[in-house]
Structure 1
Amino acid sequence: MDTQQNTALTRALAEVPGPLPTSGVIHIAIPHTDRFTIVGNHLAQHPDLSCTAVGIAVRIQSLPQGTEVSIKALAARCKEGEKRIAAALRELEAHGYLQRFRHRLPGEKVATRTLFCNQPAALVRLRSQMPSPVPVPVPEQPQAQPQAHAPQSEAESESGSGVEPEPEPEPAPLPPAPPVPAVLLTVATVTSPPPPPFVPLVPPPTAPKPPRPPLPRPGTLTPELDRAATALLSDLRRHAPRFTLSEGDIRQLVPPVATWLERDAHPDTIRRTLIEDLPQPLRHPVKLLKHRLTALLPPPLPGACDLAAPARPRIVVTPFQTCDDCDRAFRSPAPGHCRDCRETREHRGEDVRTAA
């Protein structure tokens, strides 16, 4: 009895380009087109992080902005318990991937906010390159020393004394303060606050979404188109049980399906377009049908006049004629004389016969 061959392995190895390694893992890398997250090797191959911490970090990085990532919320999403998730979060916090701090809300409430950085080494390097604010030197102003007044004698203090006191000498003017360099003032006033640790590139979930395009409608919804579209939509559940539509959904989808039928699309083509190559998991079948009926709507078929080759412009060629006097060939719609013979006859005053 012959040894059974593993055809699945042979077929999979045939799809791998290049020479195959003699040992170790063999990668079958198919490029992602949607629903993927970029993870650096510094996290995926971190020598000090456990596999649980790496998996929790990848899970947090794949979640959209604003998603709850507390221990209880992660335990509800993952199979690990709260103790293992808490230990993994502590590991990520120790290596700079995670930052948790308390934020006081109005009304004496305190909430825990979480920051996740996908490249903590780049964040530290960015902070080290930030310029530090330059202090502005304040020149010291020399203080004026109060002058000591000599005590007056009793004779000078008496009102009847005729001796005038000597005038006090005026204090010397203070030297002007040195001007502050304009460069220091500019640096001190223009220094902006430090930028945030990292700017999210994904818009928040509360960002306004563009309006959806309206569903296509036929030029005239005849009873025949209405009946054919209703039958096609009702028959989808025979081919794909997930497309078991209600009567209200069918009434909404009848006009776009009738538009496809009006544009001479075959019912089998419409059915394959709607139910093949479905996303996994399929959560909203009606929304998927509306999107495909709108985005994949074919143009109307061209008519016979549109397919006809355009008529080429007719080129009128003037025939050759032979001059009656000199037998020279010239182009003219009618027989007559050439240009030289016409000029000679006009000079002689004779009758000139030429084309009109």
Structure 2
Amino acid sequence: MTKSASFSGILLRWYDNNKRDLPWRETADPYAIWLSEIILQQTRVDQGMAYYLRFIDTYPSVKDFANASEDAILKLWQGLGYYSRARNMHHTAQTIARHYRGMFPADYESLLNLKGVGDYTAAAIASIAFNLPYAAVDGNVYRVLSRINGIDTPIDSGQGKKQFAILANELLDASHAGNFNQALMEFGATLCTPKNPGCESCPFNKLCFAYKNNKIDSYPVKKGKVKIRKRYFNYLVIDHGSYTYLSKRTANDIWKNLYEFPLTESSEKSDLQQTLAESQAIFPLQTQLLLEKESDWQKQVLSHQHIFYRFIYLKIVGKIKIPASLLKVNKKDIFNFAVPKPIEKELSKCNWF
């Protein structure tokens, strides 16, 4: 095992010389730190930066964030995925505005009680904003510590999470908690990377178990892969003159509270006639729909699901009875709605709107 004092000293010196210039590192504002941490969870810095800057510019304070509508938050979040995080952030901002007078709580336990704030995020805010001695353990930290120490306990097990949390807190430099956590995460993100890490220039290569034993690719260890669910979405894009129709996903499912074209979901890639017949469950029989075109099947990969989808363009002929579940939208206004990635991609390349 690495020794706390020598490890933190080496790490902090490396960080001083190699850290990236990032805007959320120029502030101790817990709101900015919270925003950056949520955005950057499973999102690369180069992608997340633009979102962070847009949110900070649009909502300079947590009160501004709290006062926004959920639709506005989801629209600004569009493209990042994991929309439950945006909804949780909105809920948390409102909680802070109402119960904490617009100020983030300055203790770990209160941070942990905020919706969408887990052990890692609470530790990151507590340490970086308030310099409290809590180690923030993310995927980068798992990778660095498992490689250096040769820990083969699965990181996705309860035992593994406990073991790494204990080790990270033992190594933590309590007097520089915020910098230590940022340094360890930065080290994993830029040097001790999942593929092709910079072992030759690593300041820990003489201590690193994985490097000395040629086992870099063996760490960290996971129990097993998550079973992937396959789903098939048939989107119905309705041409009604200057208008089309959207529905809002309100069920406790992916893309909750985002807007999309009405759809039928099937257990496999269904043929067109079958899909058109199923569409009558959405539009009453007296509505006549004329097929204009259909797209090829495409694929959207989510963490635990693979969504296969296509777009079927239909033109309304004659009268229509609008189901209460659908929203009539002027085509020129459709870009104002927060939509899932498949819809966003289709809108960006289609001149129909």
TM interval, shorter chain, is: under 0.3
Higher relative contact order (CA 8 A, sep 6+): 2
**TM-score (normalised: structure 2):** 0.21
**TM-score (normalised: structure 1):** 0.21
Larger radius of gyration between Structure 1 and Structure 2: 1
Instruction: Give the strand-richer structure, 1 or 2.
Output: 2
